[in-house]
Chains A and B, each alone.
Chain A
Amino acid sequence: MRHPFINRFAAQSASTLTSHIRKRAKAAGKTLLMSSAAAVMALQAAAQDVTVVIDPIASESNLYWETEGAFMLPSLQGLVGNNPETGKYDTSGLAESWKANEDLTSWTFTLKPQAEFHDGWGPVTAEDVVHSFNLHIGDDSRLSGIGNLRDATVTAVDAQTVRFDLPAPQADFLFMLAGRGVLAIYSKAQFDAEGLEGYKTKPAGTSPLVYESSELGQGMTFSTAQDHWSGVDADYDTLSIRFVGEAATKLAMLLSHEADIVSLSRELQPQALDAGFEILASTQGASQTSMVFGALYTDPEGGELPTGLPWADVRVREAMNRALDRSQLLEVLYDGRAEALPVFTMDAQYEGYTPALADRFDADYGYDPERAMALLAEAGYPDAFGDPVIPIIVTSLPGNPEFPLISELAQAYFEAVGLQTEMREMDGASILSARRDRNAPWIMPVRNAPIRPAQVGLQVYFSKVNRPTAYVDDAQINSVFDELAASTDMAERDALASQIFTKLYDDYTHMPLAKIFAEVTVDPDTITGWTFPGSTSSGLSHFELIKTAE
């Protein structure tokens, strides 16, 4: 069991490579040390108001469907909840129970009779769900993943019962309705009375947190509901979420006690720790990181196949995996607060988890530069390849500030075993554009946040469903994936997913890196705990569970 409070790891960097990189990574932070000692003057922030500082969110809107789904207002809820400890689907959402038919094409939810909207907009009924669904699948919807819901038919069976009928089985349907879901429940009564304007100014939600106001680009404020229907009683009176982009400013806010909880980048965490602040992590993994081989396409059905890529040779792929010293990598990237990941998209929470792969991981993927060089020699690298140079993409992604560093480190490891590399800086949109053109033959870091259910994750990254933007397009995997998508038998699904994961693993189809946790840095004088599962895009949720000091 992982305790939410993690103390700082003593940094032990043996090799010069690591210490060099460490210096680079922390250069920015060092200068800030200057007067942090003087800064620790506890101006006791009144614990009744909690200020949480996070990165500016990608799209700010009170209308969830107009965003990509990266941040759901804490006042809103979906039908299904996530358990704060285990991350598993639970009844902390608006539905008290649900059941699916045999072939998983029809899902029926029973709403909690006591659930009601804030500001007197009445009880939550099936009509609200139908109404919200219609809004979410509209033309202006930008929700990533909404495609899985578009073809559903939603019926209000009675006031408390709502049914989703799907054209094809969806074993992971609950994922759509939970924390990183694509359906937030809005009040139809409010819409009928005030229209979209009402939602824009003050959308009535259902959670223990009541939306009060938001200021464009600055943040938003919530109050806590008195005698909430769910029985949850938050420790504090108001919650302010503030958007601050600059890491140093966030740290300053913490040190000056303007903020109680801050999502601080890893480079600056040591300084906060030195000043007596503490790090709080999600109870479950919040995301996975990996490096992928672009254009690992072998299924001719997907279109023209790339030729001459060095990593088309499995020996080169194994060599590249073997070239990485993962334990050192994780130490540098995540201060050691991360877990080894045998297969990207595979997770113990979900189907197809194959412990054998984790057990074999060290033997098959362990750091072994000699073996890497032998493999490369065997493959005839570099002479056997028309263009032996391996392009590595350097890109930055909000929420993953370590991405450029991953690329730099990987380059150093690759070059150490004799691979020829080339760094290319590219922004997300250009990368996506190249992928859409099926023309992305390079190595790059990717993430899976939040960690998706097996089928969903496999679909996005490794299946023909996501042609042309998937990274792997393999005839055998594609056919097993078809079976998985069609299967409604849980044991069978588990076996099929495991089969795909094993194939991905055995073929060295990518370079899995880490499972990481969502972390926030908190002021222990005001915040005593917060249990959240890391099951949303931002990793943060369950704000009502923030525990404050007296």
Chain B
Amino acid sequence: MKRYILIRLLESLAAIFVITVLVFALTHMSGSPVDALLPQDATQEQIDALVSAWGLDQSLPRQYLSFLGNALQGDFGDSLKWRGYSAMGVVADRLPQTLYLGGIAVAISVVVALPLGVMAAMRKGGKLDKAAQLFSLFGQSIPQFWFAILLIWFFAVALQLLPTSGSGSWQHVILPAIAMAWFQIAALSRLTRSAMLEVLDAEYVKLARVKGVSETRVVWVHALRNAAVVPLTYFGVLAGSVLTGSVTIETVFSWPGLGWVAIEAIRARDFPVVQAVVVIFALIYIVCNFLVDILNAYIDPRVRA
């Protein structure tokens, strides 16, 4: 187990390294920051000052090393859009909002999708199964953006039950969380269903029944424990798509999280913040997948070996 964790840890670190190289390269490929950072009537002194402040006059590997050195300390420079904040400060300020929204969305998806998938598998071909199938088809085929707008339209405009956008109260989180969860539910319930179908046919499930174990326990303990590996592995993907989803959802709902920061920073060409967001997104993604791997090893003893 220790060895396994160590290997996964090293892999994660390598991934993080690659990400920093990519982020650095992307920033430099998208043109000199000078054009993004300075107004069009900038003086030559302003340009020179910026060039030396950003170390743009140094060689690329040198620039990368100092970027990496600073990044390791969480220093991505100062935000250009949110003046007076460091890029990391902006990210740290907004991260809890994204984790809050994402956490609720993931919780909703798991709470809905797992039972849905399990029950669909138990009653394969039944009404619930068919309904769930239809639901996933619908869930995965309309764009997230439109679904979000539909939610706003129905619940905030037509029924006036919930606020359209913004944050602040528990009412504010409902619509964005549902919009975000919807797609995960569709995918996760399908995965759970097929994993369960496979497992429910297994001999050890039969043996559990032979022992006199109740059907509930057979399904939710004996079968699910083994089927869970599949949705759990997907969980890593889920974490990623919650992050990328946050870009759309947070923009539509004006939810002041990281996805929203990402869009606003890109719009405002706020390079330091874009870099910080990308690195943090990558980190979250990697950490989630690392945790999933550990959890997988915990659930499935075979993985540990």
Contact = CB atoms under 8 A, between A and B. Distances in A.
Interface of A: 31-32, 34-36, 38-39, 41, 43, 56, 58-61, 63, 66-68, 139, 142-145, 147, 200, 215-218, 242-246, 248-249, 252-253, 255-258, 398, 428-430, 432-433, 435-436, 460, 466, 469
Interface stretch (B17-25, B79-87, B287-295): B79-87
A135 B94 CA distance: 29
Contacts of B253: 249
B35 A56 contact: no
B39 interface: yes
B73 interface: no
Given A39-B157, A61-B82, A246-B252, A252 B35 contact: no
Contacts of A34: 150, 153
Interface stretch (B7-15, B118-126, B160-168, B192-200): B160-168
Interface stretch (B203-211, B227-235, B258-266): B258-266
B41 A460 contact: yes
A429 B83 contact: no
A401 to B, nearest CB: 12
A249 B250 CA distance: 11
16 contacts: A31-B149, A35-B153, A38-B158, A59-B83, A68-B39, A143-B39, A144-B41, A215-B256, A217-B261, A218-B166, A249-B165, A255-B157, A257-B160, A398-B267, A433-B32, A460-B41
A56 B267 contact: yes
B146 A31 contact: yes
Contacts of A257: 160
Contacts of A31: 146, 149
Contacts of B43: 147
A59 B80 contact: yes
B41 A249 contact: no
A67 B83 contact: yes
A249 B164 contact: yes
A149 B17 CA distance: 46
Contacts of B84: 61, 63, 66, 200
B107 interface: no
Contact of A249 (B32, B39, B160, B252): B252
Contacts of B160: 41, 43, 256-257
Interface string B173-217: 000000000000000000000000000000000000000000000
A91 to B, nearest CB: 29
Interface in B253-288: 253-254, 256, 260-261, 263-264, 267-269
Given A217-B261, A249-B252, A59 B164 contact: no
Nearest to B263: A245
Contact of B82 (A59, A139, A242, A436): A59
Contact of A433 (B35, B153, B154, B261): B35
B41 A147 contact: yes
B164 A217 contact: no
Contact of A217 (B31, B32, B83, B260): B260
Given A67-B83, A246-B252, A466-B41, A252 B157 contact: yes
A63 B82 CA distance: 11
Contacts of A248: 149, 152, 252
A145 B41 contact: yes
B48 interface: no
Contacts of B90: 216
Given A39-B153, A56-B267, A217-B82, 14 more contacts: A31-B149, A41-B160, A56-B264, A61-B83, A216-B90, A218-B254, A242-B166, A248-B252, A256-B160, A257-B160, A428-B269, A429-B31, A432-B40, A460-B41
B41 A245 contact: no
Interface of B: 30-32, 34-36, 38-41, 43, 49, 80-85, 90, 93-94, 146, 149-150, 152-154, 156-158, 160, 163-167, 251-254, 256, 260-261, 263-264, 267-269
Nearest to A434: B35
Given A218-B166, A245-B263, A258-B163, A252 B156 contact: yes
B165 A66 contact: no
A257 B156 CA distance: 10
A244 B83 contact: no
Among B84, B163, B253, residue most surrounded by chain A Cβ atoms (within 10 Å): B84
Given A38-B158, A252-B165, A258-B164, A244 B254 contact: yes
A469 B157 CA distance: 46
B82 A36 contact: no
Contacts of B256: 215-218
Contacts of A249: 149, 152, 164-165, 252-254
Contact of B35 (A43, A67, A245, A429): A429
A63 B80 CA distance: 13
Given A35-B157, A248-B149, A253 B83 contact: no
B50 to A, nearest CB: 11
B75 to A, nearest CB: 18
Contacts of B85: 216
Contact of A32 (B153, B260, B264): B153
B276 to A, nearest CB: 15
Contacts of A258: 156, 163-165
A143 B31 CA distance: 22
Nearest to B39: A144
A214 to B, nearest CB: 11
A218 B219 CA distance: 47
Contacts of B36: 429
A151 to B, nearest CB: 11
A246 B82 contact: no
B152 A252 contact: yes
Contacts of A252: 149, 152-153, 156-157, 164-165
Nearest to A35: B158
Contact of A58 (B94, B146, B254, B268): B268
B264 A244 contact: no
Contacts of B40: 144, 432, 435, 469
Contact of A139 (B34, B49, B146, B153): B49
A242 B38 CA distance: 26
A256 B81 contact: no
Nearest to B264: A56
A433 B252 contact: no
